[in-house]
Structure 1
């Protein structure tokens, strides 16, 4: 929990992303909940929302945008068949990149971007999935990003190239101890290319781009020495569990189906000292908590959630 900033809150989003590397962000409210659980109330500053690990939208620090061109070949290749089915040939996609640089003169929503593309000779059916796939392709090509308000803007990547070893090091800093299989599940990279990853000292203290902290990750802190009684209420798609293929160190397999409901979706859950002990949901002003065993002491977290969500939160056990 330490490296995930769940027991050692971050001072700001800069420090947070220096530790956890990225927050999954296809659902912006869920990303905000993930930041809240780690001490950060506002997602301002040098933060970029774009496609990264697992072909999914993430929040990244602008200094870590090197990961986009690193992952791009894998996910561009993986999406080629679907793009072809949608009429997005390689030739059309290649023409679309300079066209997007021309039309994205400021933040545009998807419908406006599609209309502007049609004006410059890139027609897309706005009722199909073609616009979404083309825009994701352009993001992996380093042309654009997607804002927290779901508008699209041009992206400028000004980072020195890094290799998969650096991504492995950053991953282990946030999630270690962890295995190459876990890394493959988190990153979306094929396992065949991860056979020669170097060893990483998970207990070492290090510094990443000016942010120092321990490398011990989520699994390593479940039951390990450190703060006790740490309770956090985590939302959908929280990175705490998403970092692993095998989550049994944090989530009892007997309760896994209550949390992992399929399609990469995670039910909001309560973590106490590294272990998932309950699920929760918000119903209006009520926070309903379903414990797997003894009731965890969530009163402070419920109160903080209420302040964060600007509701008069009332705890209900179900």
Structure 2
């Protein structure tokens, strides 16, 4: 099977797709979640028949959780994976941000005490402003107009104290205590993470695993086995994936999936990754929603015979979003 098609199957973008949010997330370990709307669409592309309300319900009932994990960035993970993944990766990224916290006046002592206060306050979902108030009530004053609150909350999350909670009706994020769960020693956790990565991303390399996870290359190579699953050929695959999709962020680079001439159409600069139209795993266009309609912007001439499949994907996105006019 072609490498790109095999990747689409590994990623859950082709072949039989699950009908639960948790199964779609578990397949790739985690889905990027800084942008809630894009996160929902990543689930849509990997499931069959769900709606945005189903994704929000899975977050609300704790079946899946959003927390800081791979590369120290916000991801959605299945609830049973959050504890051991954060325990493995979080402290590394928390340590890496120590210098920036110091610049903001967040000493190690303040961070330790602040994390305890945040954990107590976050027994029920709290907004950032509410956590700042809880800190102030315990004598820890931080300026809400600076990045200090975000960094202290990030420290608490990366050290396994809290996670993102359900968004409020105005899309304001909340934070809630991370439920305790069994953790693994580092060697077992590394082996499990590498195995799970391969299942959801193959074909891939140890270098891809390191770039995706944020682990040092030496640790990634030691844990990586490269054993790839066998997949049945799914036939032609046309899928519309949203911003920051794991298919375009889960590897060291995108050269296999994105023609070099169009790389800047997918990522013009910074970390902003555009929605893409994938045909048999290769990006052939970008897409965007404008005035409630999806507009396709091809990279030259589209492959023949895919118009109907693109129309089906557009219709499925509309079905998935249903009454959501802002997503």
Q: What TM-score results when the alignment is normalised by the length of structure 1?
A: 0.88
Determine if contact 1:28/1:148 at 8 Å carries over to the other structure: no
Deviation of 1:286 (Å): 1.7
CA distance in 1, matches of 2:233, 2:174: 42
CA distance in 2, matches of 1:226, 1:262: 35
Query: Structure 1 16/312 Cα, relative in aligned 2: closer, same or farther at 3 Å?
Result: closer
- Written as runs of structure 1 = structure 2, the 5 A alignment for 1:168-207 is 168-204=194-230
Higher helix share: 2
Deviation of 1:97 (Å): 1.7
In the alignment, which residue of structure 2 is the partner of 1:211?
none
Deviation of 1:185 (Å): 1.0
Is 1:160 paired with 2:183?
yes
CA distance in 2, matches of 1:274, 1:24: 19
Deviation of 1:103 (Å): 2.0
In the alignment, which residue of structure 1 is the partner of 2:251?
244
Determine if contact 1:64/1:159 at 8 Å carries over to the other structure: no
In the alignment, which residue of structure 2 is the partner of 1:53?
70
Compute the RMSD of aligned alpha carbons. 1.8
Determine if contact 2:87/2:183 at 8 Å carries over to the other structure: no
CA distance in 2, matches of 1:269, 1:22: 19
In the alignment, which residue of structure 1 is the partner of 2:134?
116
Structure 2 unaligned regions, length at least 5: 1-7, 168-172
List per-residue Cα deviations over 1:140-159 (Å, max 9, x = no partner).
11111112411011111312
1:258 aligned to 262, 265, 270, which one? Answer: 265
Deviation of 1:260 (Å): 1.6
Give the total of aligned pairs.
294
CA distance in 1, matches of 2:85, 2:286: 32
List per-residue Cα deviations over 1:52-108 (Å, max 9, x = no partner).
001110001111121001002210111001000000100100111221122224111
Determine if contact 2:132/2:142 at 8 Å carries over to the other structure: yes
Q: What TM-score results when the alignment is normalised by the length of structure 2?
A: 0.85
In the alignment, which residue of structure 2 is the partner of 1:302?
314
CA distance in 2, matches of 1:310, 1:107: 27
Query: Structure 1 53/312 Cα, relative in aligned 2: closer, same or farther at 3 Å?
Result: closer
